[in-house]
């Protein structure tokens, strides 16, 4: 086909958004779906940051729509002469239109491209915006980003104050089967309530129904206490604040006795999930401050140079930067990463200065934090020695894979699968059932080490975990390199009984604590073996839970001779049955393991696998009746 002028397309209005939604919301997945709500919510939050709004209400409706309302000034509705359209319609239907391109109206805001709410409009099957302004009530309706009414004034209403209310239905053309997740939205709303402590946020879910109000005068100090809820901390939150050259920085730091890290960063209330120069500056300052303290106050006979990785164990921190809207350089419209180079130095100098003062004024707390970090460094050095010992034996890099690994023939990680199986009979069936062209089997012997309580050097010395690390090829700790991963589908295949669930929990603890990148990249799965085999009239049905079993039995013709077999373990299945139900890509059901909410997952792992027995006891007492036990 010839390339001619006829093939040149000009996308006008919001057409580019509907043509390429991923450019504006990242992807049309769960995160992109909820980003529609975030864009509307951020507009209301900006009103609060500007001092014009004190209340923000969010409602999730039964019909799949959502509403965000604030009591701010309300979007202007006057006609803009150049376009002969209302300012409201311009904001809702034009890309790069809004009041945030200078610092006169919004000195600090999360929006900067002027595309936020218009993107939500473009990707909604229906949207209605209502404005209270100057004692009058206005509204306009849209369908797939295009106005279906003009801006109308609704008379006869008694109007007090101002504000904007936006109700929208995400377009199922882009978001098939997706619905609003209350837990995810609650976390988003809660974060903003901490970051804008003068504003009351109310979240209502009509589907449950449930209504919660969030108002925290303590700001990010309250947030960090929330993140450390249920954990033993080493001190009260360290709070640092700095203002200079139109920049405002707030940092809260608090160490706990766990091994995980939780660092949250924000720019003008926008959660920069991928970090950026403000996070880099913070990490640089933390490492330098601790090393400087050790140089002045440490044991000179035991000199240890601490690295950035040593700072991570038990670290919980919140970094909130406010800066002029027009100065912000985000990596993309989704605002996941800050790119301003000048911010690195500002944050690094501010945090280093603040920590030096804190350590000087709080020597007892400083010693506890330094001891925690130094212990992490010693574990790192011990782990390095253990790794080097393994390498010398020739079994880590090129010397060979674990003898008990039944490897596959495929060398492309994207096409290779690793099944982690427990029990001799299950492993035997799996080895016979697998397609050795692309499926590998690695057995683990019963209960593995609880890595919630173990340092890295102990983990590497544990035989089953060492074999797993070698089989994966990624290394661990300082040597971690996901480019060397040998399998991009890692499948935990355990029995459906209590022991199997315990082994699965131990494996998940290991992956979550020490190889979380495998979960974040979507490489970790759980096999879903059937619980029942139902035979009726020479036909075989597989049921994967009690509900499916009951449904199959109800639908069988009356009078048909039926046999029911309950599988307590994978080893009870013949290899052909295990292949058909659990390992064959054409028939099986795999559950991809993800961490949608790292904070909640972190608290759960800490409670179930940590040292605090009372919390675990309370959980067991509360949920014991829900457990399904096999005898």
* Residue 15: burial class (beta carbons within 10 Å; 0-12, 13-18, 19+): middle
pLDDT of 146 above 50: yes
Work out the number of other CB atoms within 10 angstroms of the CB of residue 20. Answer: 10
**What is the per-residue pLDDT for 475?**
83
Write down the domain spans for the chain: 15-214, 220-381, 393-529+591-626
pLDDT of 579 above 80: yes
Mean per-residue pLDDT over the chain, rounded: 85
Could you give the residue ranges of the DSSP H alpha helices within 9-164?
A: 15-19, 22-25, 30-49, 87-93, 116-122
Q: Give the residue-averaged pLDDT of 587-612.
A: 68
Q: What is the pLDDT of residues 275-288, one digit of tens each?
A: 999 999 999 999 99
pLDDT of 155 above 50: yes
% residues pLDDT > 70 (the chain): 86
**What is the per-residue pLDDT for 389?**
56
- 3-class secondary-structure state, position 199: coil
Euclidean distance between CA atoms 536 and 557, whole angstroms: 9
**What is the per-residue pLDDT for 384?**
72
Euclidean distance between CA atoms 576 and 44, whole angstroms: 58
Of these ranges, 98-112, 165-179, 289-303, the one predicted with the greatest mean pLDDT is: 165-179
Best CATH choice for the domain 15-214 from the list 3.20.20.150, 3.30.565.10, 3.40.640.10, 3.40.50.300: 3.30.565.10
pLDDT of 212 above 90: yes
Q: In sequence order, what are the beta bridge partners of 249?
A: 242, 321
Best CATH choice for the domain 393-529+591-626 from the list 3.40.50.670, 3.40.50.300, 3.40.630.30, 1.10.230.10: 3.40.50.670
Euclidean distance between CA atoms 216 and 213, whole angstroms: 10
Q: In sequence order, what are the beta bridge partners of 252?
A: 239, 318
**What is the per-residue pLDDT for 623?**
65
- 3-class secondary-structure state, position 252: strand
Euclidean distance between CA atoms 286 and 251, whole angstroms: 11
Q: What is the pLDDT of residues 160-169, one digit of tens each?
A: 889 999 999 9
Cβ neighbours of residue 27 under 8 Å, at least 6 residues apart? none
Euclidean distance between CA atoms 631 and 498, whole angstroms: 10
Topology of the domain covering 220-381? Ribosomal Protein S5; domain 2 (3.30.230)
Q: What is the pLDDT of residues 476-531, one digit of tens each?
A: 877 788 899 999 999 999 876 677 777 888 888 888 888 888 988 889 998 988 88
Work out the number of other CB atoms within 10 angstroms of the CB of residue 147. Answer: 18
pLDDT of 8 above 70: no
Structure tokens at 614: 């009372």
Q: How confident is the model at residue 150 (pLDDT cuts 50, 70, 90)?
A: very high
Q: In sequence order, what are the beta bridge partners of 133?
A: 136
Euclidean distance between CA atoms 403 and 422, whole angstroms: 16
* Residue 8: burial class (beta carbons within 10 Å; 0-12, 13-18, 19+): exposed
**What is the per-residue pLDDT for 561?**
87
Do 15-214 and 393-529+591-626 share a fold?
Answer: no
Q: What is the pLDDT of residues 481-492, one digit of tens each?
A: 889 999 999 999
Which residue numbers are catalytic? 422, 495, 497, 499
Residue 181's nearest CA partner among 198, 197, 205, 161 is 205
Radius of gyration in angstroms for the set of CA atoms belonging to the chain, rounded to a whole number? 28
| 209 upstream amide cis, omega within 30 of 0 | yes
Stronger pLDDT, 113 or 260, i.e. the higher one: 260
Work out the number of other CB atoms within 10 angstroms of the CB of residue 185. Answer: 19
Spatial contact of 416 and 488, defined as CB atoms under 8 Å apart = yes
Euclidean distance between CA atoms 190 and 413, whole angstroms: 40
Euclidean distance between CA atoms 510 and 519, whole angstroms: 11
What distances in angstroms separate CA 569 from CA 424, 429, 532, 537, one per listed residue?
11, 11, 11, 26
Euclidean distance between CA atoms 510 and 504, whole angstroms: 10
Instruction: Name the DSSP class of 579.
Output: I
Euclidean distance between CA atoms 467 and 442, whole angstroms: 9
Q: What is the pLDDT of residues 305-346, one digit of tens each?
A: 888 988 998 999 999 999 988 788 887 655 778 999 999 999
Spatial contact of 199 and 53, defined as CB atoms under 8 Å apart = yes
Structure tokens at 596: 């949608």
Q: Give the residue-averaged pLDDT of 244-262.
A: 91
Q: How confident is the model at residue 299 (pLDDT cuts 50, 70, 90)?
A: low
Residue 593's nearest CA partner among 544, 523, 545, 529 is 523
Stronger pLDDT, 27 or 41, i.e. the higher one: 41
Could you give the residue ranges of the DSSP H alpha helices within 556-612?
A: 575-578, 598-609
Query: For the whole prediction, is pTM greater than 0.95?
Result: no
Q: In sequence order, what are the beta bridge partners of 127?
A: 142, 168
Spatial contact of 72 and 47, defined as CB atoms under 8 Å apart = yes
Euclidean distance between CA atoms 243 and 134, whole angstroms: 35
Euclidean distance between CA atoms 427 and 484, whole angstroms: 26
Cβ neighbours of residue 518 under 8 Å, at least 6 residues apart? 472, 474, 482, 485, 490, 511, 524
Could you give the residue ranges of the DSSP H alpha helices within 196-276?
A: 220-227
């Amino acid at each position: 086909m010839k390339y001619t002028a006829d093939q040149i397309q000009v996308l006008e209005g919001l057409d580019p958004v509907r043509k390429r939604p991923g450019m504006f919301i990242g992807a049309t997945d769960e995160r992109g779906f909820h980003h529609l709500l975030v864009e509307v919510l951020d507009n209301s939050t900006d009103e609060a940051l500007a001092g014009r709004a004190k209340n923000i209400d969010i409602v999730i409706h039964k019909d799949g729509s959502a509403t965000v309302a604030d009591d701010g000034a309300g979007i202007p509705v006057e006609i803009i002469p150049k376009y002969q359209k209302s300012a409201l319609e311009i904001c809702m239907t034009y890309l790069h239109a809004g009041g945030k391109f200078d610092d006169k109206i919004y000195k600090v805001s999360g929006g900067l491209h002027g595309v936020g709410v218009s993107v939500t409009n473009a990707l909604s099957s229906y949207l209605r915006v209502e404005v209270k302004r100057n004692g009058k009530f206005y509204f306009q309706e849209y369908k797939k980003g295009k106005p279906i009414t003009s801006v109308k004034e609704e008379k006869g209403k008694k109007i007090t104050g101002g504000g904007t209310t936006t109700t929208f239905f995400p377009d199922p053309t882009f978001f098939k089967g997706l619905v609003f997740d209350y837990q995810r939205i609650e976390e988003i709303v809660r974060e903003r309530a901490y970051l804008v402590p003068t504003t009351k946020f109310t979240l209502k879910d009509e589907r449950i129904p449930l209504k919660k109000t969030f108002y925290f005068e303590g700001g990010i100090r309250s947030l960090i206490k929330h993140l450390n809820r249920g954990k033993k901390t080493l001190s009260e939150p360290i709070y640092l604040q700095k203002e200079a050259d139109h920049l405002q920085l707030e940092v809260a730091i608090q160490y706990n006795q766990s091994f995980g890290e939780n660092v949250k960063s924000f720019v003008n209330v926008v959660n920069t999930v991928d970090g950026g120069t403000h996070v880099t500056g913070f990490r640089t300052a933390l490492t330098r401050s601790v090393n400087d303290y050790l140089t002045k106050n440490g044991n000179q006979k035991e000199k240890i140079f601490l690295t950035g990785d040593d700072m991570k164990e038990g670290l919980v921190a919140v970094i909130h930067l406010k800066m002029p809207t027009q100065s912000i350089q985000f990596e993309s419209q989704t605002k996941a990463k800050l790119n301003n180079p000048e911010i690195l130095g500002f944050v690094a100098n501010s945090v280093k200065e603040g920590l030096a003062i804190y350590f000087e004024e709080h020597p007892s707390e400083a010693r506890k934090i330094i001891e925690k970090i130094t212990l992490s460094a010693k574990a790192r050095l011990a782990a390095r020695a253990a790794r080097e010992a393994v390498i010398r034996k020739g079994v880590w890099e090129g010397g060979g894979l674990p003898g008990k690994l039944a490897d596959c023939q495929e060398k492309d990680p994207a096409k290779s699968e690793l099944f982690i199986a427990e029990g001799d009979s299950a492993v035997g069936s799996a080895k016979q059932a697998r397609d050795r062209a692309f499926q590998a089997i690695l057995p683990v012997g019963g209960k593995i080490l609880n890595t919630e309580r173990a340092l890295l050097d102990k983990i590497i010395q544990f035989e089953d975990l060492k074999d797993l690390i070698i089989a994966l090829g990624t290394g661990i700790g300082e040597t971690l390199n996901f480019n060397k991963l040998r399998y991009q589908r890692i499948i935990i295949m355990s029995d459906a009984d209590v022991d199997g669930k315990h082994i699965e929990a131990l494996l998940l603890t290991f992956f979550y604590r020490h190889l979380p990148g495998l979960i974040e990249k979507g490489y970790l799965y759980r096999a879903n073996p059937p619980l029942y085999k139902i035979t009726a009239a020479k036909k075989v049905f597989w049921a994967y839970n009690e509900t499916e079993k009951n449904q199959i039995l109800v639908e069988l013709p009356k009078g048909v001779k039926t046999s029911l077999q309950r599988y307590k373990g994978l080893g009870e299945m013949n290899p052909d049955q295990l292949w058909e139900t659990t390992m064959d890509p054409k028939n099986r059901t795999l559950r991809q393991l993800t961490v949608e909410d790292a904070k909640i997952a972190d608290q759960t792992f800490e409670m179930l696998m940590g040292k605090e027995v009372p919390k675990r006891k309370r959980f067991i007492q509360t949920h014991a009746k829900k457990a399904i036990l096999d005898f």
